[in-house]
Structure 1
């Protein structure tokens, strides 16, 4: 399985973007920032399974009799520990193990192009990270390192982040830089030992607008150089330079009469491959009784195709390659134009120092759901079920 197929599950896929999240309601008076009063240990388990419809007909491929093709299954337990060290320092460490199995098409969503090995594909990823934070008056600086290893992909990353608040503590500016050095291999080609270097930076601001409203704006840029080809996709040839930019806006609104919180976000993405994406999400967090909370969520994503993505050709002399002799080409459906909805719900319970949660999401991706018009034709609808279970203990 290609390393790029696993990006959705990489805990360190973005070195700094996930490190700075929108807080709830910041205090309205200035105070010195100190390490948390308590530490915590969290255990989580993620289960992911995706499958596609089999309605599209490709050249030289018999029409499938079923309406479902099971693809990838991921099982990923993880642990995260956070501990204050004195009043000025915080130490965080985490680890995860991903067990992946199943099959993925080599081109588009063609079933006959799926993994051919007996019993399908199996892979395992082991990853860990450590982060140290130094707290100052109205600010903090953190440094972190991470490592991820699997059969065909090794990644080493490091990040430096900082934040500083205004005197009234209603505005916080934050920034971060990160580097990653990856080595890409292939189970199909033992001689492949390609490398990729990635540098990224992010700046942002969080602002308390009122007692009930907090907003945040982040701008990030990533510059990657090296091997971007997917060795498991047929005829996949991509540029060795990729520039990616994102703008992320978040808004938290508290509804006092209901005791609930609405969390909204919008993310704009654009890269040098020609992919432009829009992602909007809304989450409603509603307390239920004294211990429970319920949080339904809805997310919509739409993107345009990469410049070198080509649609399936009905000509059997061309399929599964792209017509002509292009310098760059891909039949990877993730580079196509499509739209996707994710509908989810999370249930959480808190009892003293214990917190537990259960979250379920259903993801559905269709070409026709692209914003502003039809997407890339000839690609079957993709579905995914995602279940996350977690428990944490403060100490």
Structure 2
């Protein structure tokens, strides 16, 4: 299944295959470790009316493994630890001159997040069944989730049908509740999310693969941001997501071209388009280079507003629900030596209301700009 993009190794293997191979459990086991540093650009001092200008920085450590238990069973697990620091936006508003200003939290916030996931896969002659569990714990937020996935191969394994379902239940516990009534009211509140996807993956020939997918997502419960001064959202959000992924292996160049498109719409009137292009180039038998770009464009939620006071039942000034666009560039290399692979990656993300559709597109100083660096090692045995 080409879920979130068919792995490059699987695509490159198509070029060497004279006919399609049946779905089967991986032949080896693996353990992997990744360390990453995420750094947001600080907020502009002339746009911060009060509080700190320091944006978030996050140090991330991730450990994962895959173990084959029997001929048709595979168990995978992963765990991560994040250490975060930085100030948070409390409110964005338009001043008397029509310029947007932001109120930030005072001191830098320090938080930690721990999560782990465990899943098992059972392979059949023409498909697989998988189930997984996920749990995440932060200072002020706890999440638990489960998921199911099934895949079925048809047409001599050239066509794959897949379906998945996931459900999560999160509990809020805002820190420093004495600072606002809204934080106190949010303590113990629940947010639930369920989502289901179906997809069709088709091998067109030994060089090309295409996937079509569609899904539905429903979120309900407490959906406000308790840290914002003005934030009142509907208690339910229903979204539809559709996408197409295309992979083309160029044999003369020993490289693969990836094209991904995703369309999102929900009943909060948010509409978004995501286009991702990437190229994977084999330099030789042990070195691969990756480069990519991603464009995102979003229409604002129907209740997004920069009014300094609440003027309607539902209202938010969260930049993530504003009208904006974003560009992301990424590059990386994979160095494979026998059973060990080293990977080095860099991503740079920039966003602006000028790149989005028309709307309440006054400059939003809390739109994110970040860089992400990571180093990973994987060992197969």
Normalised to the residue count of structure 2, the TM-score between the two structures is: 0.89
Q: Structure 1's 201 and 172: CA in aligned 2 closer, same or farther, altered over 3 A? A: same
Match of 1:182 among 148, 160, 170: 170
Match of 2:122 among 134, 144, 164: 134
Count of matched residue pairs: 361
Partner of 2:142: 154
Partner of 2:219: 224
Partner of 1:327: 313
Q: Is the 8 A contact 1:273 1:306 kept in 2?
A: yes
Unaligned segments of structure 2, at least 5 residues? 94-99, 178-182
Of 286-295 and 17-26, more deviation after overlay is shown by: 17-26
Partner of 2:97: none
Match of 2:41 among 51, 68, 76: 51
Partner of 1:10: none
1:305 aligned onto 2:300:
yes
* Cα deviation 1:273-331 (Å, max 9, x = unaligned): 111110100111112233211111110000011111003x5xxxxx2x34x3x110001
CA deviation after TM superposition for structure 1 residue 20, in Å: 6.2
CA deviation after TM superposition for structure 1 residue 357, in Å: 0.7
- Distance in structure 1 (CA, Å) of the matches to 2:258 and 2:359: 29
Partner of 2:210: 215
Of 157-166 and 188-197, more deviation after overlay is shown by: 188-197
Q: Is the 8 A contact 1:33 1:135 kept in 2?
A: yes
1:105 aligned onto 2:89:
yes
Secondary structure at the counterpart of residue 232 of structure 2: coil
- Distance in structure 1 (CA, Å) of the matches to 2:136 and 2:43: 32
Q: Is the 8 A contact 1:181 1:195 kept in 2?
A: yes
Q: Structure 1's 346 and 368: CA in aligned 2 closer, same or farther, altered over 3 A? A: same
Q: Is the 8 A contact 2:53 2:104 kept in 1?
A: no
Q: Structure 1's 31 and 290: CA in aligned 2 closer, same or farther, altered over 3 A? A: closer
Partner of 1:239: 234
CA deviation after TM superposition for structure 1 residue 252, in Å: 0.7
Q: Structure 1's 31 and 366: CA in aligned 2 closer, same or farther, altered over 3 A? A: closer
CA deviation after TM superposition for structure 1 residue 31, in Å: 4.8
Partner of 2:199: 204
Partner of 1:92: 76
CA deviation after TM superposition for structure 1 residue 52, in Å: 4.5
Task: Report the RMSD for the aligned CA atoms in angstroms.
Answer: 2.3
CA deviation after TM superposition for structure 1 residue 150, in Å: 1.0
* Cα deviation 1:365-391 (Å, max 9, x = unaligned): 0000115x4762131263101112111
- Distance in structure 2 (CA, Å) of the matches to 1:19 and 1:91: 18
- Distance in structure 2 (CA, Å) of the matches to 1:195 and 1:142: 27
1:267 aligned onto 2:266:
no
* 1:35-74 correspondence runs (5 A): 35-54=25-44, 57=47, 61=49, 69-74=53-58
Partner of 1:377: 362
Normalised to the residue count of structure 1, the TM-score between the two structures is: 0.86
Q: Structure 1's 111 and 105: CA in aligned 2 closer, same or farther, altered over 3 A? A: farther
Which structure shows the bigger proportion of residues in strand conformation? 2
Unaligned segments of structure 1, at least 5 residues? 1-16, 314-318
Partner of 1:347: 333
- Distance in structure 1 (CA, Å) of the matches to 2:229 and 2:220: 22
Q: Is the 8 A contact 2:33 2:377 kept in 1?
A: yes
Q: Is the 8 A contact 2:199 2:213 kept in 1?
A: yes
CA deviation after TM superposition for structure 1 residue 21, in Å: 4.5
1:394 aligned onto 2:380:
yes
Partner of 2:180: none
Partner of 1:172: 160
CA deviation after TM superposition for structure 1 residue 89, in Å: 0.4
Of 135-144 and 49-58, more deviation after overlay is shown by: 49-58
Match of 1:115 among 105, 111, 116: 105
